Amino acid sequence: MVPPSFLANKKLAIKNAVLILLLAFLALIVLKAFYLSSQRANSVSRSLALVECYRAEMLMRMADAAGYLSQSSYGMQKKSQKNVLQTYDKVVCQAKDLLSDASTKEPYDTEILAKKMILDERVGQDIKPNLARLSLICAAEEKKDLSNSSTAKFAKLILAIYGSGLPASSSTPPQSNAAIFSTADIHFLEGYLSDGWYKEQVLLRVYKLNHQDASYQKLFSAIKNKTWLYVFKLVLIGFCGTIAALVGVVVIIYQLVIVGNRPVTMDTEAKKMAVTLKTDPAKFGWQTVACVFLAWFFTQIVIGYSASLLKQKGLSFSFFGSFASAISIALIYLLSNGPALLYIYLFALRPNGLKFAEGINFRWQVDKHGAIALILVGILGWFAAMPLVIAAYFISANLFGSSGSSNPVIAIVMEAAQQNNFWAILLFYFTLGVLAPLCEEGLFRGFFYKYLRSRHSILVANVLSSGLFAIAHLDLGAVLPLFCLGSIFAYLYETTDSIVPAMVAHGLWNSITFTLVLMLFGS
């Protein structure tokens, strides 16, 4: 028996109203999460403050190199020497600004305050205000019965080391006398601070106070060699990056000029239509897409809130070392983003009789092109992304005042790089190079872009999917670069009818970025 038309229309109207409310709720969640992310990036996020400490460390390596260059260049012209010294002053000023900003974000963090003191003392700044603040923090910890913690011990040692009154300008250790700091104190500092510029500066000062001439000279020589090696790495990265960007420009021009002007044959269009009909996104509508993203964002909020709650209760994995941090990052990412693929299957593919792999076009064979060809396309896509992302970062910095990515995971990755834990590094490569591309490409290209492409032009589908991809990362400093990456990944999917090339390009981008971090921060 067929129900009256007005009843059917009424039920349809109620269903649409409910779905519109769900979409409105989804939009509120996205906007609220994006707003909170921007607030965290400008307030008291320790991870973001630590990233600024690492950036300051990079700048001080460059400043030290400029200082060594100005001191050792006997044949350098006065004008060139003046330019080197100006560069030194400029870089040091930038480093001081970064650490001042980090200290403002985390005014009661012992480690960040100590790093600020280390840098200020190194460049001849007055450290008395820092010493006073650190003394107040130590006094507050003693009232809370935290005076025996490793953080309190570190603070007391820093107070003793930098409250000694030894002039910072002294370049040679004084004559031998009784040691002030014990071997146990030195071992504690070596274990507490990660390998890097700050640790080196603290140990130099300790050796100077202890009158350990041989240890001082040995460390000083090692730091000098490490600084020149660091400069070599920067030059190598700059050279390789330039070559990769030039190759990327050639790839883009080839696609625009040669491939773009090729006539589209009926055979090509028929093959694309056959693929589209086989896994037709028209079998599900915008309501299904909204439900998938609503469930995914809700899952992310729950996992993020749970992780924050555990951290507040002192159950942070970071306390157990870099490998534990890598495990926590992998688990949080898997629990936050892995369900997105499950929602695609449950809400969109399974009800319409579609298999998961064919539903998101996870295919290693397209026409006569096999896995090798698809991987090669992904590699070329990575090259094409290089000039676009570099230009995007340049535009973001100069037009919008962006200081780069504000993703708090960066601090954990840099920490793992300095500790050089093999298993932590391997797990980070797996998370960044395999898990992230699989989850994100399956959701944004294999599902969302494919749905949009079945109803809109290439341009509209690319812009909408890439825009959501950039916003979903909740990283204000990298919205434009992420949009460019998403556009490249969508183009790879469009031209191959497979998400494999996009996954390869995505995994390469993450893995090579992590490799650069290892090169610059690895001990």
* Structural domain boundaries in the chain: 46-230, 276-521
Q: Fill in the amino acid letter for 521.
A: F
CA-based nearest residue to 406, from 474, 357, 466: 474
CA-based nearest residue to 106, from 400, 337, 411: 411
Q: Can you tell me the distance from the alpha carbon of 194 to that of 420, in angstroms, rounded to the nearest whole number? A: 10
The full DSSP string for 167-185 is: -TT--S-------SS-HHH
Q: What is the structure's pLDDT at 241? A: 93
Residues 6+ positions from 82 with CB-CB distance below 8 Å? none
3-state SS assignment for residue 369: strand
What are the Cα distances from residue 312, in Å, to 190, 235, 305, 306, 335? 27, 42, 11, 10, 20
278 Rama sector, left if φ>0, alpha if ψ -120 to 50, beta otherwise: alpha
Q: Can you tell me the distance from the alpha carbon of 321 to that of 110, in angstroms, rounded to the nearest whole number? A: 19
**What is the phi/psi pair of residue 199, to 5°?**
-60, -40
Q: What is the structure's pLDDT at 27? A: 62
Taking only the tens place, the pLDDT of each residue in 452-473 is 988 888 899 999 999 999 988 8
Q: Which two tokens stand for residue 499?
A: 């998400």
Q: What value does the CA radius of gyration of the chain take, rounded to a whole number of Å?
A: 28
3-state SS assignment for residue 366: strand
- pLDDT < 50 regions, the chain: 1-2, 5-8, 38-44, 75, 166-176, 264-266, 269-270, 273-275, 277, 319
Q: Fill in the amino acid letter for 347.
A: F
CA-based nearest residue to 131, from 144, 140, 148, 118: 118
- Total residue count of the chain as it appears in this document: 523
Beta bridge partners of 366: 369
Around Cβ 237, how many Cβ atoms within 10 Å?
14
CA-based nearest residue to 389, from 257, 477, 492: 477
CA-based nearest residue to 341, from 304, 292, 376: 292
Q: What is the structure's pLDDT at 9? A: 55
Contact 26, 290 (CB under 8 A): yes
Beta bridge partners of 369: 366
Q: What is the structure's pLDDT at 378? A: 95
Q: Which two tokens stand for residue 333?
A: 């990412």
| pTM, full prediction | 0.81
Provide the 8-state DSSP code for 319. G
